[in-house]
């Protein structure tokens, strides 16, 4: 979600965009002839700023009237007194910033509800499969390879290889892709992992189907895992380090 100050900065900075851009009607009528208008350092610098601001404005572009934006730029550049005083400008920037934030909150809530519904429907069907086991917490798992070594406890450190996917099959993280296993305290990860890996033994490989409540919940994680996402992990347990044993450097 855009921070309040971030939204204000983008709206205030939008004025510079017009100085480096042509109106949409001009670009549609005739394409620019190469880079003839980007010959000097000043032109290139202005264009670079315009590109950066244009990209930053992607989330607020629907709230910005470019014609009015250009008027403000032209009038101030021409030495005219702004038609909206400081208080009026601050008021409208605050109002639009609040509107943007409210829209983002509503969109995130909608996404969370949709993801929750899809996750619950998936787990309900998945749990009917004969090879899927479901724990009291709602965690589902499927044993791919049975391990023969030690089983970890919540206070242990574990070394694993893993691949995480969303319900649509998109891979959001994979130690296999990095060609590097990961070691971490089992108590310091999402509840689905803490519970699930204690059901494994070293040398084993298990596929976990983790409800949102046992994963990242409504907050999601980063840009790839949205709110209330049900996650699927394939986990290979390589090693268990008992208690507070230091993790091997990787």
**Residues annotated catalytic, as ranges:** 162, 172-173, 190, 216, 233
Non-local (6+) Cβ contacts of 46 within 8 A are 19, 20
Q: What CA–CA distance (Å, rounded) separates 88 from 90?
A: 5
């Amino acid at each position: 979600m855009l921070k309040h100050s971030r939204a204000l900065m983008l709206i205030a900075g939008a004025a510079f965009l017009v100085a480096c851009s042509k109106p949409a009607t001009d670009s549609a009528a005739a394409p620019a002839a190469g880079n003839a208008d980007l010959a000097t350092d000043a032109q290139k610098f202005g264009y670079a700023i315009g590109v950066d601001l244009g990209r930053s404005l992607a989330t607020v572009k629907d709230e910005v009237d470019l014609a009015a934006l250009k008027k403000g730029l032209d009038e101030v550049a021409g030495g005219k007194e702004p038609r909206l005083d400081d208080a009026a400008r601050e008021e409208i920037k605050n109002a639009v910033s609040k509107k943007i934030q409210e829209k983002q909150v509503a969109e995130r809530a909608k996404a969370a509800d949709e993801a929750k519904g899809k996750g619950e429907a998936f787990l309900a069907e998945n749990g009917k499969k004969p090879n899927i086991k479901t724990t009291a917490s709602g965690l589902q798992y499927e044993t791919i390879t049975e391990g023969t070594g030690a089983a970890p406890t919540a206070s242990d450190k574990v070394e694993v290889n893993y691949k995480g996917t969303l319900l649509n099959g998109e891979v959001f993280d994979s130690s296999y892709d990095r060609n590097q296993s990961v070691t971490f305290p089992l108590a310091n990860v999402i509840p689905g992992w803490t519970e699930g890996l204690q059901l494994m033994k070293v040398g084993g490989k298990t596929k976990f189907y983790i409800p949102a409540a046992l994963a990242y919940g409504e907050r999601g994680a980063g840009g790839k895992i949205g709110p209330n996402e049900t996650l699927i992990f394939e986990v290979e347990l390589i090693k268990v380090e008992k208690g507070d044993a230091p993790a091997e450097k990787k």
